[in-house]
């Protein structure tokens, strides 16, 4: 008698997803970079996996004069060549439509409303609407006002489950400071109920970010160690090798503190925090990957006298019983040697080093690394005896990779977040109070930088890991940055 092969639980596909509703997805800024690079490819992958309802329609809205056929052809070029000629693409392309219009023109929104009503009737859509603001934040006010004035959205709470739903996805940044964030939230709430608002931070859609709580709380070997008794320090790094590229005007008005620190890094930290020491700097000419690059002030579109920071490093103290006394080190910057995002949790060494008397050097700390990009995964370093007669202890790695364990790479963050919004699941989206609390913290830093005793704006060559002062920030506690 032969037994049935065991089912690998990591590849068990028996779990079923909740079905999505047919809806009209309206993408404002449909000819822009975000739509081309992220939104249409993500929606196409969802369609290929049959995770979008087949009657769903996707309507692009932008200033450029196009018809639906020209829009479909332009969107075809956003997917890999073979996919663009596939039956799956032809089926998906049949759900793509385009309506030209100026964001400040109320008549354009009334015309959009007629298009949506026609698609409802033609495709059997019950009036469900998902609006995606894939535009610069400066366009939000006009878009929201005209969506409301044209009656395109139905303001309702989640309790109205049987009625057609309306939802809006808003891209970061959510304001420029606390005051503007509150103003934007008030404007959004004049058209949509908070339960209809989905503030997107794509970091929250990454599998490893979602895995942090699961990893900690579902594994008995880690949860008891997740506190100041066993953890010596935590490092969060968001490194980018690119400069400002085509975003000079936007970046120069906000800097790295608003572009990454206020949203991505605060979401990765999500704790009660107090800033202690902060280093700010701007890159000068250097080389990234062997290619010479100009300094920030020489980048096209940047003020040659700009005082905008492109690098920020900070020591953060967490004011609660679990993490009191454990420094959290954060760093983020442009034109660093490589692109990488990682959380490193450094554990304390045993209080009595048993092997020192046997001639072993000081043990290296155990480090748990949560790699968010690229190559999402988790690794843990620990000490092991090297083979041989002598007693030598060397660090070794245990690694988890999505492809190895699950047979596939994790889905794109936008893919997951678009699906969640379609399903009405706001778990991975930022709430109003989260956004305002993050700005309240960052505003304190920005106000200090505007004061008479503000810290100097340091410099670092492009292609390096930041100014020496960022290393000194850790050396005060006999710590160092772990390499990415």
In this structure, the number of other CB atoms found within 10 A of the CB of residue 475 comes to 12
Strand partners, 368: 345, 380
- Alpha-helical segments (H) within 244-397: 248-256, 266-269
Q: How many angstroms separate the CA atoms of 417 and 425, rounded?
A: 9
Whole-number Å distance between alpha carbons of 106 and 149:
8
CA-CA distance, 439 to 445, in Å (whole number)? 10
Active site residue 264: yes
Structure letter (DSSP) for residue 157: -
Residue (of 163, 96, 161, 158) closest to 127 by Cα position: 163
Question: Does the annotation place 207 within a ligand binding site?
Answer: no
Q: Are 381 and 388 in contact (CB under 8 A)?
A: no
**Choosing from 53, 193, 264, 479, which is the catalytic residue?**
264
- Tell whether residue 206 is among the known ligand binding residues: yes
Show the tokens assigned to 126.
């019950």
Say whether 259 counts as a known binding-site residue. Answer: yes
Confirm or deny that 74 is annotated as ligand binding.
Answer: no
Dist CA 272 CA 438 (whole Å): 10
Task: Please indicate if the annotation marks 240 as binding a ligand.
Answer: yes
Joined tokens for residue 7:
């089912």
User: Which element (helix H / strand E) includes 210?
Assistant: helix 207-217
How far, in Å, CA of 127 to CA of 160, rounded? 14
Question: How far does CA 170 lie from the centroid of its chain?
Answer: 13
Nearest CA-CA partner of 235 in 308, 332, 145, 311:
332
Name the residue among 373, 379, 296, 306 with its Cα closest to residue 342: 373
For 385, the token pair is 């005896």
- What is the distance between the alpha carbons of residues 181 and 438, in angstroms, rounded to a whole number? 10
Residue 205 near residue 413, CB atoms below 8 Å: yes
Strand partners, 130: 25, 167
Structure tokens at 433: 């109070």
CB 314 within 8 A of CB 277: yes
Longest Cα separation, the chain? 83
Residue 195: CB atoms within 10 Å: 15
Q: How many CB atoms lie within 10 A of CB 126?
A: 12
Whether 439 contacts 262, CB under 8 Å: yes
Q: Which positions ≥6 away from 193 have C-beta within 8 Å? A: 155, 156, 157
Residue ranges of the binding site for substrate:
202, 206, 240, 259, 334
**What are the binding residues?**
63, 172, 202, 206, 240, 259, 334
Per the annotation, binding residues for NADP(+) are: 63, 172
**What are the residue numbers of the active site?**
264
């Amino acid at each position: 008698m032969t037994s049935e092969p065991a089912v690998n639980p990591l590849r068990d596909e028996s779990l079923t997803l909740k079905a999505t509703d047919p809806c009209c997805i309206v993408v404002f800024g449909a000819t822009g970079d975000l739509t081309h690079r992220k939104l249409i490819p993500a929606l196409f992958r969802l369609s290929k996996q049959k995770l979008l309802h087949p009657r769903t329609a996707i309507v692009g809205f932008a200033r450029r004069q196009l018809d639906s056929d020209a829009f479909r052809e332009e969107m075809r070029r956003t997917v890999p060549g073979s996919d663009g000629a596939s039956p799956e693409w032809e089926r998906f392309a049949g759900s793509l439509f385009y309506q030209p219009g100026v964001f400040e023109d109320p008549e354009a929104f009334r015309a959009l409303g007629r298009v949506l009503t026609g698609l409802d009737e033609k495709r059997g859509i019950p009036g469900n609407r998902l609006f995606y603001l894939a535009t610069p934040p400066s366009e939000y006010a006009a878009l929201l006002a005209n969506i409301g004035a044209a009656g395109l959205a139905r303001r309702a709470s989640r309790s109205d489950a049987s009625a057609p739903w309306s939802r809006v996805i808003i891209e970061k940044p959510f304001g420029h400071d606390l005051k503007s964030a509150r103003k934007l939230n008030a404007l959004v709430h004049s058209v949509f109920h908070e339960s209809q608002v989905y503030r997107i931070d794509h970091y929250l859609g990454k599998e490893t970010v979602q895995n942090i709580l699961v990893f900690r709380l579902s594994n008995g070997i880690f949860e008891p160690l997740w506190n100041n008794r066993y953890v010596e320090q935590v490092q969060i790094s968001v490194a980018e090798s690119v400069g400002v590229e085509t975003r000079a005007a936007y970046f120069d008005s906000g800097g790295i503190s608003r572009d990454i620190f206020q949203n991505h890094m605060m979401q990765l930290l999500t704790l009660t925090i107090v800033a202690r020491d902060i280093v700010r700097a701007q890159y000068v000419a250097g080389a990234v990957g062997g290619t010479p690059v100009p300094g920030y002030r020489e980048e096209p579109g940047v003020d040659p006298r700009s005082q905008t920071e492109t690098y920020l490093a900070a020591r953060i103290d967490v004011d609660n019983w679990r993490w009191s006394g454990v420094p959290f080190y954060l760093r983020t910057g442009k034109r660093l040697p490589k692109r990488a995002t990682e959380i490193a949790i450094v554990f304390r060494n045993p209080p009595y080093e048993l092997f020192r008397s046997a001639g072993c050097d000081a043990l290296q700390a155990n480090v748990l690394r949560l790699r968010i990009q690229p190559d999402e995964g988790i690794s843990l370093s620990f000490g092991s005896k090297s083979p041989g007669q002598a007693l030598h202890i060397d660090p070794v790695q245990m690694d988890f990779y999505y492809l190895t364990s699950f047979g596939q790479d994790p889905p794109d963050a936008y893919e997951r977040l678009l699906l969640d919004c379609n399903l009405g699941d706001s778990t991975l989206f930022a709430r109003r109070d989260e956004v305002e609390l993050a700005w309240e913290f960052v505003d304190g830093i920005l106000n200090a930088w505007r004061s008479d005793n503000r810290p100097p704006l340091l410099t670092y060559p492009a292609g390096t890991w930041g100014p020496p002062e960022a290393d000194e920030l850790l050396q005060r506690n006999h710590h160092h940055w772990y390499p990415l």
